[in-house]
Amino acid sequence: MFITFEGTEGSGKTSQLHPTADFLRQQGRDVLTLREPGGTSIGEQIRKVLFNLENTEMHPRTEILLFQASRAQLVEDIITPHLRKGGVVLCDRYADSTLAYQGFGYQLDLEPLRALIAFATHALKPDLTLLFDLDVEVGMRRRASGGEWNRLDAYDLAFYQRVREGYHQLAREEPARWVIINAEQPPGQVQEAVCKAIVKRLRQKSG
Ligand code: TYD
Complete domains list, the chain, with CATH: 2-206 (3.40.50.300)
Condensed to tens digits (0 to 9), the pLDDT of residues 58-77 reads: 999 999 999 999 999 999 99
pTM of the model: 0.96
Compute the distance between CA of residue 167 and CA of residue 181 in angstroms, rounded to an integer.
12
Q: How confident is the model at residue 148 (pLDDT cuts 50, 70, 90)?
A: confident
Ligand 1 centroid–CA 125 distance in Å is 18
Residue 123: what pLDDT?
98
Asked if 165 and 182 touch (Cβ cutoff 8 Å), the reply is: no
Give, for ligand 1, the residue of 33, 59, 152 to mutate: max count of ligand atoms closer than 8 Å to Cβ: 152
Residue 87: what pLDDT?
97
Atom 13 of ligand 1, nearest CA residue = 152
Residue 207: what pLDDT?
72
Residues with Cβ within 8 Å of residue 103, at least 6 apart in sequence: 109, 110, 113, 166
Residue 150: what pLDDT?
80
Residue 58: what pLDDT?
95
Condensed to tens digits (0 to 9), the pLDDT of residues 185-199 reads: 999 999 999 999 999
